[in-house]
Each structure stands twice: as structure tokens, then as C-alpha cells.
Amino acid sequence: MSLYEEIIETALEEFDLSGLRILDAGSGPISARALIQRSPKHLTCVCAPQDRYKIDATFNELGGKRDDAEVLGVDLSEPKLFPNASFDFILADHLVSEIDIFAPGKHIDVLHALYNYLAPGGNLVIIDTEPDHPPSTFSTFPRGLELDLDNIKIASSDNMTRYRFYLIARRFLYEMALNRGVEGFMKIPGDWVEKWLIGIGFRNVNPQLATRIIEVDVDPDEENRSRIFLELITDEKLRKYIDALLDRTEGLLREVCPFDIEQDIYIISAGKK
């Protein structure tokens, strides 16, 4: 069992999920596997509609079409996807950090929708990564094609700088694939989420922090996922430019990979009265 799987197990261990209606909000294959093993009445896995890689991976993890589970590619920021009180338990595994990619600025809207979908007496569990820098929105790349690929400079040679640069390049791809200008992005700290949940009306909001050591490498699966997003860009010049940018940043990261980094993961459980 990987450290990440252990974190999900830790987040779920206090709950008896057998016979419950469960929503896996922002689903992926690891969370789907952990939930289906707990014998729910029905499991609904929701992935962003643009993320075909994650949709297919989750569907395959569940073994294909089945009566007790389904995989949906829908936008959780859209109102009234499900009737109120449709679920007894909701897991939001790294949903908060993904919201800003697919629905910028709609964090509270999505969390409020999850509150409505949760039945009285039900529980929500959020798992996400604590920012490794003070939370702020910051610009990344220019809107146009001014960036000179041959002259990309890394201000510092440390591993984390190269890793962040790689992640920013991928974010640039997502923004362009979804036809948005690159304004920047934000990682959301756990104490913000805690306050939002209380403001929405959740009860017994309980945060905890877990630390994991992860090995950073250029993951072929993540490269494949990026290329799927690349297909969404219709402008050929822009598509070739971003493809070259990904190649360049992946190459910079490979020069120092693999290496270990320490990440703080927050787990927040909350109930509905």
C-alpha cells in the first residue's frame, strides 16, 4: 500500500460505509477503489468532464460497468447535478485544489453544492495538500507566445524550484486547453476550507494533518494525461508551442529526478445536522 493510499485509509477508517450512498467528488482510481471495497449501496464517482484520462482510469479501476457504481464526467460547479440529500457520505479527495483548474473561484459554490447533496446525518471528508508557500494568487506565464523556449531560465537549481516550474507549465496547458487566459492559480490552505465549511453550515468540523514523503519523478501517466488536454487546443501554433514547453520543463525536471519531498496533507471531516 502506498503512502497516499494509507492517507485515504486513515481518512475513512472511522466511518462504516457499508450500505450507504456515496459520492466520490473529484474521483480517481485510488479513491474509487478504497470506497468500493467498503460495500456501499451505490458509489457515484464524479470526474471533471475534460479529464478523460481520469474518467477512463476510474472506470477501469471499478472493472467497467456495474450496478453498484457509476463514473460521471460532469462539472461539480454546475448547480443541481443531483437532488438534495442524494448521498449519505461524500469524499472530496484533492477536489479543492482541482476546483481552481476547472472552475476558478468557485470553491465555496462547489462546497455548498456538496452540502446540499449530503443527507441529514451524513458526513463529508476532504483530503488535500497544504500549500508549501504563503497562499496567494500569482501570475505564471504570459497570455501570448512571448516566452522564448530556448531561453527558459531556472532562477535556482534546487529540486523544488524545477518541480514547481513543471507544475506551472502543466497549469498553463490546462488554462489554454479550456480556452482561458492564464491569470494565475491558488492552492487553498486547510484553515480556509475549515472556515468555509463552518460558514456553509457543516457541523463537527474536525481538521487533522498528515505528513507524507513522496518521490517526485516525471510520471508517464501524468504525461499522457497532459497530452489529452493538449488535444483540446484547436490553434495549431499554440498547441505546438505548449507541447514544446511541456517537453522543455519535463526535461529540466528529469535532470534532478527522482528526489523526495515532504508534503503536508490535511484531512477535514464534517457532518450535516
Q: What average pLDDT does the chain have? A: 86
What is the C-alpha to C-alpha distance for residues 163 and 126, in angstroms, rounded to an integer? 25
Q: What is the pTM (predicted TM-score) of this model?
A: 0.86
Give the CATH fold of the 3-271 domain.
Rossmann fold (3.40.50)
Q: Is the pLDDT score of 147 beyond 60?
A: no
pLDDT at 47: 95
pLDDT at 146: 47
**pLDDT tens, position by position, 84-124:** 999 999 999 999 988 877 887 889 999 999 999 999 999 99
What is the C-alpha to C-alpha distance for residues 271 and 151, in angstroms, rounded to an integer? 51
Provide the 10 A C-beta neighbour count for residue 178: 16
Residue 257 CB contacts under 8 Å (≥ 6 apart), including other chains: 216, 217, 218
**pLDDT tens, position by position, 216-226:** 888 777 778 88
Which phi and psi (to 5°) does residue 232 adopt? -75, -15
Q: Is the pLDDT score of 24 beyond 90?
A: yes
Measured over the CA atoms of residue 117, residue 57, residue 186 and residue 12, the dihedral's sign is: positive
Which phi and psi (to 5°) does residue 56 adopt? -65, -40
262 - beta bridge partners? 213
Residue 85 CB contacts under 8 Å (≥ 6 apart), including other chains: 116, 117, 118, 119, 120
What is the C-alpha to C-alpha distance for residues 125 and 216, in angstroms, rounded to an integer? 26
- What's the one-letter identity of residue 14? E
pLDDT at 141: 46
Parse the chain into domains and list their residue ranges: 3-271
Residue 209 CB contacts under 8 Å (≥ 6 apart), including other chains: 130, 190, 264, 265, 266, 267
Q: Is the pLDDT score of 21 beyond 50?
A: yes
